[in-house]
Structure 1
Amino acid sequence: MFEGFTDFLSGFPLAERTALVLSISLVSAVLLEVVVLRLARRFVRGTDSELDNIVVEELRLPMVVTAALVGVWVLTQPDLGAADVIYQDQLTNFFGRPSASLIVVVWARALNNIVNRIVENVQQSGRFDFAPVFSNVWTLVVLVGAAFFLLTIWNIEITPLLGAAGVAGIAIGFAAKDTVANFFGGLALYFDDTYKIGDYVVLDTGDAGTVVRVGIRSTTLLTRDEVMVTVPNSVLNSARIINESAPQRRKRIRIPLSVGYGTDLDVFEDLVVGVTEDESLVKDSPKPRMRFRQFGDSGLEYELLCWVSSPSREQKARHRLNRTIYRRLLDEGIEMPFPKRDVTLSFADADRSVIADADGLAAAESGGD
């Protein structure tokens, strides 16, 4: 294709060749902007996804710039027959390489923005808040790739740089091993889908709270006391984590109850279930139910099972249910047993005589007064 294009250009004088190449380049840029990209924007507006809008918006600038500057680059290439050999080096240094570098920069910026905006869009839709990890990693990849192309365009030898980068990478790896461990720990948590923003988690250390931020180095929890707890990702990756918000946000709570022997169990069960159904914090489905667990030392051991809409409502619902059930049981005269102990004192004969003498002495002293 380039040979045919070269043969075509060789039939024109230098000035005409230059004007022809630049004209074709500028016309291509205008057609891209006015026709192709306009039709593409109109098409993606009719779709439900926001991702294609992001791609079209970010690719607009690099495509137009590439179309506009490719003619300048062509003019500096001797094998395409569009440049005067006498001024080849000057054309390449002042026009060819800068135009190619600008093309690389705008494409690197566009690729970086596309991925970062897509990650942000996915994050806003409720997925795991891992934008810092993907954004930073992708930005690093784009920067390294753009630097490689720029060095190649300007004929800079990169072999010494690669050796120095390898040594620097080893040194940085030893110096930042904890940070690297936290980073890969965060990646493991993400791909395992352990939790996401808004989930209520309980750690094996006893810490519990709502996940409010997931970063490259650590995860931040907001406890019920409104205290922020920051936990390194490497620790979470090796810890036992209970996600009470997954797979559904609702949570079942268990409230132990005890009732005295001889109680009418049907009345007792209906009363407790009725109180639970009237509580606004308790979900209507699944329905609350009572379970007779065992015969206790002081009474019959029951367990009330009901559901709340989220783990954060458990403690408030438990408090309100306990208060209401207690008042209703008192009103109905239903006994809630508690441990009782009978203490019996037994004395030997010698002990009785000592106690009697002490009592007699106390009586005599009081009579004398």
Structure 2
Amino acid sequence: MIEETPAIVNNWIQNWNLLSQGWRVGLVVFALVFGTAVVAYVASFIVGAIERHFQKTDNAWDDALLHAARKPVVAFVWLQGVYWAAEVAHRYSDAEVFSVNDTLLQIGFVWLLVWTVLRFIKQGEEILTSPLKMKSPMDYTTVNAVSKLSRAVVIITAVLIALQSLGYSISGVLAFGGVGGIAVGFAAKDLLANFFGGFIIHLDRPFKVGDWIRSPDRNIEGTVEHIGWRLTTVRTFDKRPLYVPNAVFTQVAVENPSRMLNRRISETIGIRYADVGQMATVVADIRSMLENHEDIDQNQTLIVNFLTFNASSLDIMIYTFTKTIEWVRFHEVKQDVLLKIADIIEGYGAEVAFPTRTLHMPEGVRLASDQAGKADGDEASSAEPGSSRAPVDGSASSSETQGSSAEATGNS
């Protein structure tokens, strides 16, 4: 409670008989609240002016501190003013609600302090990850993890202080929390597994927000959008959100293609057996083309060699790496390389092979087939449309002879 109400106000309330005591107390309370509003407005204006002045400097942390403190300062003025008004009312009122003024003031101070610290942590997170405010901005995932941990520590500490202000023993609360934590641990083991999985992700940093990840063990592939304490949000390439519990990442292998240094071109191209004479020059020209290509990384492995005699082609192995890791640009470079390889092959009169099969037949079968085909061709060429030529095999003549013989026998 206020130690002493200002004497002039106290004497006015007690001795001015023009109005009743209730009206006099009401006027004093109104004046205190109105004065609080005026002071809060002035305080907001002053802090805003100071904030605008410090925005002209190169130091971003003073801007963050002033921005974080602006609203809490105004709230502090209101808290103190309302507390004074409530204390004045408590002197002349027996209402039970005014008996908790001191407790509410203490809790209010704690809340304002926590609010200021949380706002400052948020501002610090934006500064540390902003390329406009930092020459070397920090990784967003790491800063976000530290920010979350800091906020959790501040909130837990504030809750314990508030409980102490309300008359609860912190030691008893901590003992209850230890016993209850065991029960909660057994009941919510999956939740705790996800929590510690998120902690491991923030600690090891196998990926961060914005990375493209995939898991060969699970059907997980896409861009990381958010890493929470329980779930990680992955946006798949068909634009659907995929929510993965953090515990999964402690049990599966995760690939991070976003961190690759190069992209690989690995192709096998075959030419015909008839072009074996051009093989050496084709291979040499392809290697020379790749060694002089501006989008091929010459510091990485480059292989162009005659690989093997395949079933229907002579295979050439192409193995090299591009400088770009961008998916779209990589395919543009690969297309350019393959088209240039095709031009080199065609430039020597060779052709890219495709699957073929040659059938070898015995000599006797081939001759008999050729003679039958020739006879059929001669017969077809000698026949004319509409002619009634007799068959060459003589079957019809034989039938007619047999018929004539039978008729002659019957007449006799």
Using structure 1 for the length normalisation, give the TM-score.
Answer: 0.64
The answer on whether the counterparts of 1:209 and 1:223 sit within 8 Å (CA) in structure 2 is yes
Partners of 1:200 and 1:312 within 8 A in 2: no
Q: Distance in 1 between matches of 2:79 and 2:8?
A: 16
Alignment match, 1:235: 248
Match of 2:106 among 88, 100, 107: 100
TM-score (ref. length: structure 2): 0.58
Question: Deviation at 1:108?
Answer: 1.4
Residue in 2 that maps onto 1:111: 117
2:287/2:304 contact within 8 Å kept? no
Distance 1:69 1:215, change over 3 A: closer
Aligned in 2, Cα 1:303/1:128: closer, same or farther, shift over 3 Å? Answer: same
Cα 1:61–1:333 shift into 2, 3 Å: same
> SS of the residue aligned with 2:109?
helix
The answer (yes or no) to whether the contact 1:288–1:307 under 8 Å persists in 2 is: no
CA gap of 1:213–1:316, structure 2 versus 1, over 3 A, is farther
Residues 229 and 151 of structure 1, relative CA distance in 2, 3 Å threshold = closer
Tell me how far apart the structure 2 counterparts of residues 234 and 224 of structure 1 sit (CA, whole Å).
23
Aligned to 1:177: 189
1:66 shift after superposition: 5.2
**Alignment gaps of 5+ in structure 1:** 1-9, 75-86, 278-282, 361-365
Contact 1:120/1:131 (8 A) holds in 2: no
Residues in 2 aligned to 1:54 and 1:162: alpha-carbon distance in whole angstroms: 34
Unpaired runs of 5+ residues, structure 2, are: 11-31, 85-92, 132-136, 373-391, 396-412
2:345 corresponds to which residue? 329
Aligned counterpart, 1:209: 222
Paired amino acid for 2:285:
V
* Higher CA-based Rg: 2
- Structure 2 CA distance, aligned partners of 1:316 and 1:219? 33
Task: Tell whether the 8 Å contact from 2:303 to 2:318 is kept in structure 1 after alignment.
Answer: yes
Structure 1 counterpart SS, 2:167: coil
1:11-22 correspondence to structure 2 within 5 Å: 15-16=6-7
Distance 1:216 1:203 in 2: 20
Partner AA of 1:253 in structure 2: R
Over 3 Å counting, the alpha-carbon distance change for 1:234 and 1:321 in structure 2 is farther
Deviation at 1:199, TM superposition (A): 1.9
Contact 2:307 2:316 in 1 (8 A): yes
Residue in 1 aligned with 2:285? 267
**Cα displacement (A) at 1:57:** 1.1
State the 1:218 CA deviation. 3.0
Structure with larger RCO (C-alpha < 8 A, sep 6+): 1
In structure 1, distance between residues paired with 2:127 and 2:199: 19
Q: Is the aligned partner of 1:256 residue 2:270?
A: no
189, 205, 208: which is aligned to 2:201? 189
Task: Return the offset for 1:98.
Answer: 2.3
Deviation string for 1:143-191 (max 9, x for gaps)? 3322222222232345554444334333332232222222222222222
Q: Deviations over 1:302-348 (max 9, x none)?
A: 3243232424644565456445644663465334456777676789x
For the residues of structure 2 that align with 1:93 and 1:142, how far apart are their CA atoms?
29
Indicate the RMSD between aligned Cα atoms, in angstroms. 5.2
**Quick one: which amino acid aligns to residue 102 of structure 2?**
G
User: Whole-Å Cα distance in 2 between the matches of residues 268 and 367 of structure 1?
Assistant: 66
Q: 2: distance between equivalents of 1:288 and 1:155?
A: 70
Q: Is 1:165 equivalent to 2:156 in the alignment?
A: no
- The within-5 A match list for 1:299-310 is 299-310=315-326
Report if aligned partners of 1:199, 1:210 keep a CA contact under 8 Å in 2.
yes
Within 1, Cα distance between the matches of 2:50 and 2:168?
41
Structure 1 range deviating more: 215-224 or 97-106: 215-224
Aligned residue for 1:220, secondary structure, equals strand
For residues 331 and 368 of structure 1, do their structure 2 counterparts lie closer, same or farther at Cα, with a shift above 3 Å needed? farther
- Distance (whole Å) between structure 2 residues aligned to residue 65 and residue 220 of structure 1: 37
- Quickly say closer, same or farther: Cα 1:184–1:45, change in 2 above 3 A: farther
Q: What is the distance in 2 between the residues matched to 1:290 and 1:42?
A: 59
- Give the conservation status (yes or no) of the 8 Å contact 2:195–2:246: yes
Identity value in percent = 22
Judge which range, 61-70 or 112-121, deviates more.
61-70
The count of corresponding residues between Structure 1 and Structure 2 is: 327
Q: CA distance change for structure 1 residues 16 and 35 in 2, over 3 Å: closer, same or farther?
A: farther
Counterparts of residues 1-369 of structure 1 (less than 5 Å): 15-16=6-7, 38-39=49-50, 42-47=53-58, 49=60, 51-63=61-73, 93-120=99-126, 122=128, 127-129=139-141, 137-205=149-217, 207-246=220-259, 251-258=262-269, 260=271, 261-262=276-277, 263=279, 264=281, 265-270=283-288, 283=295, 290-293=302-305, 295-297=307-309, 298-311=314-327, 313-315=329-331, 317-318=333-334, 321-322=337-338, 325-326=341-342, 329-330=345-346, 332-337=348-353
CA distance in 2, matches of 1:160, 1:345: 99
- 8 Å contact 2:286–2:341 — kept in the other structure? no
Amino acid at match of 2:114: A
